Structure 1
Amino acid sequence: MPPIAAPGPSGDLLLKVTPPRVPRELVLRSRLMAGDVRLRECPVLLLQAPAGFGKTSLLAQWRREYLGSGDVVAWLSAQQRDDPSRLIQSLALAVRMGAARPTFGHTLLDSVTTPDGLEGITAWLAEVAQSALSLVLIVDEADRLPPASREALAYLLRNAPPNLRAVVAARADCDLGFGDLIAYGQCLVLGQAALRFTLEETLSLVQARLGARADADTAARLHELAEGWPLGVQLALSAISASADPQAEVLTMTAPRGGLREHFVGLMLANLEALDLAFLTRIALLDNLHPELCRMLTGDDDASRRLERISRETPVFVAAEHGDWLRMHTLARDALRQRAEMLPLTERNGLHARASSWLAERGLLEEAAGHALLAGEHDRAYDLAERSLYESIMVRGRQGAVIAWLDRLPEAELDRRPRLLLAAAWSLALSERHEEAGRLVARILAGPEVDAALRCECALILGGAAVFADQPDRFADLHDPWAESPPLRDPLLLFVHANRTAFRTLLEGDPALARLRQQQAPRGDFGRALEYVDRWGEFIVGLSYVWEGQVLLAESLLRPTLARADADLGRRSAFSCMLAALLAAAVWELDRPADAAALLANRLDVLERNGLPETVLLAYRTLARAAMAEGAEHRALELLAGMHAVGVARGLPRLCLASLGDQVRMHARRYRADSCRRSCEQIDALMADPATPRGRLWRRHADLLSELAHGYAAIAAQDWRQAIEPLARAEALVLELGQTRLHIEILGLRAFALDRCGERSQALLREAVDLADTYGLRRVFADAHPDLGQWVLDAAPAGAGRPTPAAAPVRPDAERDGGRPRSTPSMALTPKEREVLELLARSLSNKEIGRAMQVGEETIKWHMKNLFAKLDAGTRKQVVQRARILGLLSEEG
């Protein structure tokens, strides 16, 4: 009787353990690198999120990283019919393929009877431990496993030997029984919040897919449309990749009835039961969700569990704000609110009224006021608004919400409610509507019972309006009478006054003293009450650092401040955008253009309307310099023209001067003397205009812009002697203002001009380079003039102040050796086998491989035999293909 043949692995098992193809545009998520200490030291990683959160893509990224660090990776894609016996066979085959060990698990795969259940898992674990491989087991779609196999997987992880780590991906609604592992710190869970794309990751993906066809603003709009949902971003990219105008396509998508918007909503709400849909329709009337509020609103006693289940199963809820509070994805909320509009009016009013009562009882007065208004309870809404809106602008920085209320409040209600009038005046002052703020202050001061404290607060309001109107001399006149002993009792207003005192000192040209003044603000345990005005203090300190060129200190301060502001106020809030403009200017000087572009993406329009003039100037200047560095001079000139238009529209002549001055600087780079001359004539005309401010503080900044422009114009005409005088006058003004970065630029330009005049300039150049090195200013000379930048490279010693030549783009490993394929470090192959594999991938014969390795042909045949066995291949071509599939050979360049 002939022996019974071992069954061996079936074809579908081979497909289960074959890793997916890695797309070329895969976004490498640096914050989720497998080598991160937090991820590397945990024996089990669990990715749990609904469909569309990029779990498989992240697993593919980690697999490449594990292979690159020399680990053996066993991949397993779970299926519904994977009973414990089939799961054991899959595990054995996964290690056999990943480790290129044809004999691994032969008792589990090649015998007539495979050990079943926990006995089989134990045998697999024992063989893994005995192999001494550094093994990473990746199990994708573990939620598809039947209950018995989930228990077997949990048993495997609880009894894993030290040389085994595991990564498991599953949908969020799946209980894999890992609770004890999580509780004891043996399993780290990454959920929706961790897997959502950051803006930087979306920018990277858009750049990879669309290249120069889409700018950073387009990518940021797309990111905000999808709110970081990876599948949403991918769908949007697929829809616009065939479009001739991606920017226009994204604008179409963001429209309320955009086709892709409807598609997104369909994906989010797919397979919802009728009761769930009705529940979501009614709670969509709320901006922020709490289980108890949802229960009261809908009458559903099971509201808490329903929220939790829908959050697990769908991407409808995108963020947990704090505690039990949730927020609904904007796209889903907008679509569901359209459904809510079809509810009977009496039901809608009842929902809003119940929401208002619940929120008011818990002190959430602003939200309660909004729902009371929508419920038709106008008097109650105005009362709640009066009690809440002053705090909204002063404590929470919700300027837009206050202005929105102002636009729908009857004039008579404002006069009846002084607290509302104050809130409205503060909000309008901190925007381009500063003249309206002045009229409201006049109404406040015309009222009865106006004491010194109220007059001082009104001076603070008008001072803020003067700052946003770029009227520093008026700001000084309003601030100085109250500078020493303000008659204020509210700690909030005292903190605002301290911030203004610091800003007043900065205007006089003493950044260090300004920081000291800010540090003298009232201190104490004020909780969240002073958080917003405290951030304004950090803004002023950051501005002082940028002002004097301390960009390293500026970044260390502003980076966390901006992150908190984005989280609390929103990425497109006016305050966040102003912080971003400061930080972008700092990181640009540190020669990180991509970082600067990401910070300003889809924020410029907010700055144009509501930004401080200094932040508008910095944002436009940073973007124009970035465009110039990329060789897009037409785009740079367009941006500078945009800055001029904003200056005209908002009545800010200094922005017009800065625009013209930067245009002179740009033309001077190419020695366009006539263009520089015409821009300088426009500057002179603007300076001579009787409508142009004449105050000392304003004129000092304006004179600096004018003198510097004339110095650049002389450089453009190559009249080097003529350039020295305006540069010297500009330097004197810069020293008065304490603007060290600009002082370094002028030092470099003066040295450059003196050198062209044949005079000694090396001492001046060394001083400029040394200062730039001290402050970390890597772009200062290259941005000033390309010939100056080159001269510094040629003449100055090495240092951070030297402009860095454009770095060659980093290529993947496969391209670093003339495009030749390279083997990745792995325990699956010996070093000699890896070397043979590399040469084989270059289509060399055994004899040629032997000559290259300086060994005999028989030795190469022996190595080839091992490669054929380990990779389960029948031909030389299959060896190379299998090595690529397993990640043992990088792709050719």
Structure 2
Amino acid sequence: MAATDERSGEDLLLKVTPPRVPRHLLSRTRLRSDTDVCRGPGVFVVRAPAGFGKTSLLAQWRLEQVANGRAVAWLSAEAEDGPERLVRALTLSVRQATARPAFGQSLAARDGSPHDHGIAMWLAELAQAAVPVTLSIDQADHLPPASQALLAQIVRHAPPNLQVVLATRGPIGFPVDDLVDYGRCTVVGAGLLRFRLDETLELLRRSFGDGVDNDLGARVQEFTEGWPLGLQLVLSLQQDGEGLAALAATARAPGGELRRHLAGLLLGAVADDDTAFLGRMACLERLHPDLCRAVDGRDCAAVRLARLGLETPAVVRSEHGEWSRLHTVARDALRVRFTALPETERAEVHARAAAWYERQGLLEDAAEHALAAGQPQSAYDLIDRCLYDAVVHQGRHAEALEWLDRLPRVELQRRPRLMLAMAWSLAGSERHTEAAALVGRLVADAGEDDHALRCECAMVLSGAAMFADEPDLFCTLHDAWESDPPLHTPELLRLHAHRSAYRALLDGQAALARLRLQRQLQSRDGEDFQQGDPWGRYLMGLSYLWEGQPLLAESLLRPALAVAEAVSGRRGRLPSLLAAVLAAALWELDRPREAAELLANRLDVLERTAPAEALLLAYRTLVRVALASRAEHRAIELLESMQAVALVRRMPRLEVASLAELVRVHARGYRAQMCGELCERIDDLAAEQAQARPRWWRLVAGQPEQAHAYAAIASRDWRVAAERLAVADEHARRMRMGSVHIELLGLRAFVLDRCGERSQTLLREAVELAGAFELRRLLADAHPGLGALIAGLGELPFQPVPVPPAVAAGGVPVWSALTNKEREVLQLLSRNLSNKEIGRALQSGETTVKWHVKNLFAKLDVGSRREVVVRARALGMLPAVD
């Protein structure tokens, strides 16, 4: 009997011993225990399927809370933990965490008292603890029902000094919705636990070095969908960055190594009958309980889908609503099983899905499955009923173009509404020239008095002119219907407002563009479309950047981008357009890392689908990021790619901009010969276009002048540079380009200073204006000489050039001279923790901590713990204390 009790005690000791946090574990800032997400209420439920790092997160929170002075009790729950065993385990856990051997002794003498009475005693004694306590229970859903009832008592009657954290794959045995409603409970789901792009990049760079570029990280992120265990698989398969790049390059291949491994990881633990069920569902883009029941033909299908959504990451559940979907890699693997089914069975599945979708009014999905079921005429009729609304109301142009390639020409020509939908979609794509043929047929068949159709066709063609960067043609088409257009639906009026806003931008009237959007985006019943109108947000963001207002652009575009990504995915056309404008704003706000990450793995989408303005902003932002990173070769490569895109898409404005940026790059190194050759090419291009396209020339006219000014700076011909800059500045003021005007003010001051003239007044005005609009990168990017001149001004409203880090006596930046562990010790020293407490937080011995502290004394040249903290704050290594 004594031996049994001893074994039981050893077993409980293992259960209450927290797991060690791996040294390579990435601590994500937004999921730290002291952030708003994880701070506040007394109960946290971390709920997600396997592989989402729930245990690691709880272990990380434990270390952070111990470092902040909390006592953290740990329990790894099991199915064998009945009520008696649970009470004993909880008591032992608190004893270990609080270092109070006498805790819970009264519970041992209760002799057959009900278990709920034992929990009440446990809570009462815990309420008297001198320190705040966190109770972390991993795998809480494994507890048997009786123990779940005791856990419910702890959650609902926890004293103020107790925080409860539960990790679970599925629902726990008691509801917490009312606690959530009253703000006493926070549920952390799989969506929050998924890695974001910036976190994936940080993880890859920690493993493979800083050579991992943003595009590669974005591809890995897209492939794994941020699933932590999937990312861990990627790390385990490769040992260096080059191998990772080769692995990611083959990720889309059906038989690729990475895809095969990830599919096995996603589906390996799924039972055979569940895999067969998911195989039948693999033909569905999205999953709904009723849809699965209709397709599978069994009532249990909905229950099975809900269970699989909790048990496996292969089923990605929506955070809101009943819809879910299959992980992309899992779906591709399961579709192989689906195609292996007999043809008659596949046709039956598609037919059932088509019937369900049609009953729900989801006609586009119904058409897809009707065509796959061998019912083409029904599919054509369904798509004819819904595609125009999908394109004009929802902007789903990609789907329309897919249908264009599947529709027989005779079917399209006898369906005018379908032809109009296809024309809208073609106008905003690389196939924009095909839109004119469809519009011509529609206009030919329309009556002379059908002004509404003629106006809409003109809008289609003006959209094609926008995409092709033909501002003169756009103005001709739009101006004919500018006032009082014969349009009767709110959606068409909204699209007309987009055209009117763009027309104002072409004249340099950014404020007027916003006013037209705000006034014309009102339907007759007063509904405001701006909040749900990503194209309107895109144009407004452009107008703010035109005026040099990056803060306003960011506040407008960031929420719009989040919504667009949720609807269309990260690489959709609209998300990419919004990201291009937002990245340009973030660059001006001196947030280069965020700007570069926004454009990661999106440039190819922009090259195919973006208008000239968005494409120019994307390329220019990436060029500036490369230059700031001292990667001039990368900046030149990007500008050459930009020229290639301009030639392929026949966009001379983009070509002029790329050449002007190249002049700017070479002027930084005073390469006069190269600048002169590039200016000759710009002049030749301008001469070809200026006479025939006056509005095009009005948009471009300032760039040749700026290029010649930079060429004169490269030649140190300061007088010529001053004259050219004055002409360029006059154009910028006329077109009301705010940031360009401020930049030219600074360059003019720089050139005048080189001429020996007084320039401080002009320079200070440029600096003050840049500070007022938060254009933190603008003047520093213009020219290195201008940055050096500004540095001599003294006190400024903001720091326009990077500040060098604190440097130790040996010439090495102090912060980089510290090891990672010394940095962690320094952070904990600033909280006045003892060596023993620091050791507990870092899972290290007290002797090791003393060694790190001694190293800090030597590197910071101090003699006490207090002086370490003071010196670190003086060097900017720790935040200053108010």
Whether 1:804 aligns to 2:802 is: yes
Could you tell me how far 1:815 is from its partner in structure 2?
3.6
Distance apart, 1:779 and its partner CA: 0.4
**What root-mean-square deviation, in Å, do the aligned CA atoms of Structure 1 and Structure 2 show?**
3.4
Q: Please list the CA deviations of residues 696-743 of structure 1 after superposition, one character each: whole Å capped at 9, or x if unmatched.
A: 221123221111111111111222222111111111111122111111
Cα pair 2:836 2:846 within 8 Å, conserved: no
Question: Is the Cα contact below 8 Å between 1:395 and 1:531 reproduced in 2?
Answer: no
1:678 and 2:680 are equivalent in the alignment: no
- Cα gap change, 1:90 to 1:620, in 2 (>3 Å): same
CA distance in 1, matches of 2:386, 2:305: 29
Equivalent residue runs for 1:548-697 within 5 Å: 548-688=547-687, 690=688, 694-697=692-695
**Matched residue, 1:540:** 539
Higher mean Cα deviation, 178-187 or 351-360? 178-187
Measured after TM superposition, the shift of residue 553 of structure 1 is 0.3
Taking a change above 3 Å as real, the CA distance of residues 623 and 115 of structure 1, as seen in their structure-2 partners, is farther
Q: Which has the higher contact order (CA 8 A, sep 6+)?
A: 1
List aligned pairs for 1:737-756, cutoff 5 A. 737-756=735-754
Q: Which stretch shows the higher mean deviation, 578-587 or 111-120?
A: 111-120
Aligned partners of 2:253, 2:51: CA distance in 1, in Å?
Answer: 23
Partner of 1:429: 427
Would you say 1:361 and 2:359 are equivalent positions? yes
Contact 1:539 1:579 in 2 (8 A): yes
Deviates more, 1:66-75 or 1:371-380: 66-75
Q: Is the 8 A contact 1:317 1:329 kept in 2?
A: yes
Residue 161 of structure 1 is aligned with which of 159, 162, 166?
Answer: 159
Q: Deviations over 1:442-471 (max 9, x none)?
A: 222222435221111111111111111111
Q: Deviations over 1:716-771 (max 9, x none)?
A: 12222221111111111111221111111111110000001110001110110111
Alignment-derived partner of residue 733 in structure 2: 735
TM-score by length of 1: 0.88
The counterpart of 2:268, out of the listed 270, 275, 293, is 270
User: For residues 707 and 102 of structure 2, what CA distance do their matches in structure 1 show?
Assistant: 77
The structure-2 alpha-carbon separation of the partners of 1:38 and 1:490, relative to structure 1 and needing over 3 Å to count, comes to: same
Q: 1:554, CA displacement in angstroms?
A: 0.3
Structure-2 change in CA distance of 1:397 and 1:160 (3 Å): same
Query: Contact 2:391–2:397 at 8 Å: present in 1 too?
Result: yes
Q: Aligned residue for 1:777?
A: 775
Q: Which moved more, 1:780-789 or 1:820-829?
A: 820-829
Shift of 1:420: 1.3
**Residue 861 (structure 2) pairs with residue 822 (structure 1):** no
* CA deviation after TM superposition for structure 1 residue 525, in Å: 7.5
User: Are the equivalent residues in 2 in contact too, given 1:823–1:838 (CA < 8 A)?
Assistant: no
Q: 2:315 aligns to what? A: 317
Which one of the candidate residues 832, 845, 850 is aligned to 1:841? 850
| 1:4-15 equivalences in 2 (<5 Å) | 12-15=11-14
Check conservation: 1:745, 1:780, Cα contact below 8 A: yes
* Aligned-pair CA distance for 1:359: 1.3
Task: Tell me which residue corresponds to 1:237.
Answer: 235
Q: Which residue of 2 aligns with 1:871?
A: none
1:73–1:98 Cα contact (<8 Å) kept? yes
Choose which of 417, 420, 430 in structure 2 pairs with 1:419. 417
Q: For structure 1, list consecutive stretches of 5 or more residues without a partner in the other structure.
A: 855-893
Is 1:463 matched with 2:470? Answer: no
Alpha-carbon deviation of 1:617? 0.7
SS of residue paired to 1:18: coil
Looking at structure 1, the residues matched to 852 and 290 of structure 2 have their Cα atoms a distance apart, in angstroms, of: 68
- The 3-state SS of whatever aligns with 1:482 is coil
Q: How far, CA to CA, are the matches of 2:837 and 2:188 in structure 1?
A: 35
C-alpha distance in 2 between matches for 1:325 and 1:81: 35
AA matched with 2:457:
C
Q: Relative to 1, partners in 2 of residues 1:276 and 1:532: Cα closer, same or farther, differing over 3 Å?
A: farther
TM-score, normalised on structure 2?
0.89
Question: What does the per-residue CA deviation read over 1:103-135, in whole Å, with 9 as the maximum and x for residues that have no partner?
Answer: 5456679x9999994454344333322222111
Deviations along 1:607-643, whole A, 9 cap, x unmatched?
0000111111110111111111112111111111111
Kindly indicate whether the alpha-carbon contact (under 8 Å) linking 1:552 and 1:776 is maintained by their aligned counterparts in 2: yes
Conserved 8 A contact 1:72-1:133: yes
Alpha-carbon distance between aligned partners in 1 of 2:849 and 2:825, rounded to the nearest angstrom: 16
* 1:370-423 deviations in Å (ceiling 9; x for gaps): 111111211221111111111111111111100111112122222111111111
Amino acid at match of 2:344: T
- What letter matches 2:574 in structure 1? F
The 8 Å contact of residues 776 and 801 in structure 1, kept in 2 or not, is answered as no
The aligned counterpart of 1:196 is: 194
Give the aligned partner of residue 454 of structure 1. 453
Q: Alpha-carbon deviation of 1:25?
A: 4.2
Q: Structure 2 CA distance, aligned partners of 1:753 and 1:224? A: 48
SS at match of 1:446: helix
> How far off is 1:818 after superposition?
9.4
* 1:82–1:145 contact (8 Å) kept in structure 2: yes
Aligned to 2:874: none
Contact 2:428 2:609 in 1 (8 A): yes
Offset, 1:72: 1.9
Contact 2:48 2:169 in 1 (8 A): yes
Distance 2:294 2:528 in 1: 29
Q: Partner residue of 2:869?
A: none
Counterpart secondary structure, 2:187: strand
Tell me the distance in 1 between the aligned counterparts of 2:161 and 2:670: 66
Identity, % of aligned positions: 50
For this pair of structures, how many residues does the alignment match?
845
Equivalent residue, structure 2, for 1:858: none
Q: Secondary structure at the match of 2:242?
A: coil
Matched ranges for 1:225-304 at <5 A: 225-242=223-240, 244-304=242-302
Q: Measure the CA separation in 2 of the matches of 1:474 and 1:221.
A: 38
Say whether the 8 Å CA contact 2:132–2:162 is kept in structure 1: yes
For residue 375 of structure 2, the aligned residue among 370, 374, 377 is: 377
SS in 2 for 1:484: coil
Structure 2 equivalent of residue 869 of structure 1: none
**Cα distance change on mapping 1:243 and 1:754 into 2, 3 Å:** closer
**SS of equivalent to 2:18:** coil
Deviations 1:627-660 (A, max 9, x none): 1111211111111111111101111111111111
Q: Deviations over 1:274-332 (max 9, x none)?
A: 43223222222111222222211111112221111111111122242863222222222
2:521–2:530 CA contact under 8 A, matched in 1: no
Give unmatched runs, 5+ long, in structure 2. 807-814, 866-882
Q: Which residue is equivalent to 2:493?
A: 494
Partner Cα distance (1:704, 1:620) in 2: 19
Structure-2 change in CA distance of 1:186 and 1:439 (3 Å): same
